[in-house]
Amino acid sequence: MNSAPTPAAKAEQVLASMGITDPPALHLDEIANAQNIRVGKRELPDDPNLSGLLLFRGKKRAILINTFIHNTGRINFTFAHELGHHFLQHSPTYFSDGQQGFRCTPEDMQTGIHSKEAEANRFASALLMPEDQFYFSMVGAVLDYTLINNLARQFYVSKHACCNRLLEFTKDPCIVIRSQGYLITEIKTSAAARRKLPALKQIPPGTVAYEAITAKRNQNAFEVSDSAKWFLKPNHSIQLYEWTRGDWEHGVAMTILRW
C-alpha cells in the first residue's frame, strides 16, 4: 500500500504538474484556478486573529485571505497554507453556519502547533520556496540578514518564512532566536546546531543581543559573542558570533547565532 506523499513531495508534484519554474508565489491564483477554488482577498480589521479560511461546500472550495496586515510575504504564505489543506486532503476542523473547512490564525502560520497546521506550513514553505530553486540561490552564502532579505524579496515571502527555510538547508551551525522584549518566543536551529542551546526563556544578560534590545539598536554585522553566556557547556575552541535586529516599535527582535 502506497503511503501519502509528504507535504514537501506534494508541493513538488503540484509545481511539476503546472510547469512552474520561476518563483511560485507569482502563480498561486493559477494553482487555485486549476483546482476550481474560488479566492477572495479582503481587509478584515475587525478580525485580526484570522489569517485565512478554506471553506468546503459539497465539492466546492473557496479560500478567503485577510489582507489587513499589508505584508505580501505573509499573504502569500497564508494563501499557500490554505492550498496545503486542500492538496493534503485534510479533514475539516472548522464548522460554522452550515459551512466547514479551516479557520487559520497568525499563530497557526507562525508555529503550526497542531499537526494539520504544521503539515500545511511545510507544504506552503516547499511550494513557495522549492528546494531546487531556493538551494541554488543560497548555496555558498552565510546565513545573515542580507541573505534573508534578498531571498525573501526573490521568492515573495516573509523574512520569517525565508529564515526558517534557510535553516533547513544550511550546513553551518546556526540558531535563530525570536523574542518579545527579553522574553524568548521561538528558537529555530539548523541541523548542525541542534541540542546545543539550553531551553532558554529569556535573552541572557551580558550578551550582544541583550545589549542591542536594551538600547533598541540594530546591529549592522555579526559581533563576537561569549559562548558561556548562551551555552550550558561552552566550547572555547569555537568562536561564537551574534547579530540582532528588531522592530522596536512593536518590541520584537531576532537574533542569529553562528559559529
Report helix angle 7-18 to 72-87, nearest 10: 100
Tens of pLDDT, residues 240-255: 999 999 999 999 999 9
The answer to whether 120 and 236 have CB atoms below 8 angstroms apart is: no
pLDDT given at position 111 = 66
Count of residues in the chain = 259
- Whether residue 96 is predicted with pLDDT greater than 80 in this model: the reply is no
How far apart CA 16 and CA 39 sit, in angstroms, is: 22
Q: What integer best gives the mean pLDDT of the chain?
A: 93
User: DSSP E strands: which ranges in the chain?
Assistant: 37-42, 52-57, 60-66, 94-96, 99-104, 174-180, 183-189, 223-225, 240-247, 252-258
pLDDT given at position 1 = 47
pLDDT given at position 139 = 92
The answer to whether 119 and 8 have CB atoms below 8 angstroms apart is: no
pLDDT given at position 113 = 62
Domains in the chain, start-ordered, CATH in brackets?
7-128 (1.10.10.2910), 173-259 (3.30.450)
What DSSP character marks residue 202?
B
| CB-count exposure of residue 28 (10 Å: 0-12, 13-18, 19+) | buried
pLDDT given at position 201 = 96
pLDDT tier at 14 (50, 70, 90 boundaries)?
very high
Residue identified by cell 508555529 is 111
Residues 16, 18, 22, 23, Cα dihedral to 10°:
-100
Q: Which amino acid is at 222?
A: F
